[in-house]
Structure 1
Amino acid sequence: MYADKFRILTGRDNWNRIDFSNQLALFIKVWKRKLSFRLD
């Protein structure tokens, strides 16, 4: 997979940081959707 190659190239710490920011972005997206649903 591309992700595995990317992890090898950048190193584990960088990959974990990127993965965390992706999780955070996803969480914010879901949270905003819940918020807008509540406002409707």
Structure 2
Amino acid sequence: METSRRQAAQTAEIFTRSGLNARVVCSGELDADVVIGSR
């Protein structure tokens, strides 16, 4: 899920509380922050 750098940790916590393994990936080149959730 695309998110802001400021909200990435909170988004990852929501994923974790929902039973997912959360990983935050940031790209300076694309100026993008994404939280990836998997089981």
Larger helix proportion, structure 1 or 2? 1
TM (normalized to structure 1)?
0.35
Whose RCO is larger (CA < 8 A, sep 6+)? Answer: 2
TM-score calculated relative to the size of structure 2? 0.35
